[in-house]
Amino acid sequence: MAMTAGETKRALRAQALARRDALDPAWRIEASLAFAQRAAEIAPPSGTVVSGFWPIRSEVDVRPLMAALAERGARLCLPAILDRTTIVFRELLRGAPLVDMGFGTRGPGEAAAELEPEVMLVPLAAFDRRGHRIGYGAGYYDRAIARLRARGRAGRLIGIAFDCQAVERVPEEPHDIRIPEILTESGLHRFPEAG
């Protein structure tokens, strides 16, 4: 019996995360620091709102990259989980307190301004060379991106991952949002619209 798209995604997610978890922790730190050197490849104009994320488990630590983008004039924000289906993006200011957002992540509290990101650094569990991604299964980013697009705020989407998280092919489902760029330790990869 053939697996459903959801079952296939669960299997691919588990395999990609196992490969990521197996990376040497010291290497992961060095690779994460090297992502900051890629800030020029992203290069949004000064004042652009860029959303990052607080790293969990063995994810790429995007904080050095976010700091490099801030040095280039970006306004930073992080996702804030409102409920089981919704995230918003709150401004990240140096020295402002961060609160527990669940799932091992942190973000600005309710007092922080809500922003609409123009560039989104998107976490993921797995991706293919067509720009299709597998998240962690809750759908927060797919819904947030769809909501922004419905308001005419398409923004630039850049997935963040290690090369070992690539898979042959991610099955597509109607709610999935394609990510046209993926930044890994080997560079910024752009994918054509087709596929």
Domain parsing of the chain, residue ranges? 5-190
CA 92 – CA 52 distance, rounded (Å): 9
Helices (H), ranges, the chain: 5-21, 25-35, 39-42, 63-71, 140-150
Q: Note the pLDDT tens digit of each residue in 111-146.
A: 999 999 999 999 999 999 999 999 988 888 888 988
What is the pTM for the complete model shown?
Answer: 0.93
Q: What is the pLDDT of residue 16?
A: 97
Q: What is the pLDDT of residue 12?
A: 96
Taking a C-beta distance cutoff of 8 angstroms, is the pair 58, 20 a contact? yes
Across the chain, what does the average pLDDT equal?
A: 91
Q: Note the pLDDT tens digit of each residue in 71-87.
A: 999 999 999 988 888 88
Which residues pair with residue 159 across a beta bridge? 122, 182
Q: Is the pLDDT of residue 102 over 80?
A: no
Q: Is the pLDDT of residue 2 over 90?
A: no
CATH number of 5-190: 3.40.50.10420
Handedness of CA 81, 122, 26, 95 (dihedral sign): negative
Q: What is the pLDDT of residue 76?
A: 97
Question: From the CA atom positions of the chain, what is the Rg in Å?
Answer: 16
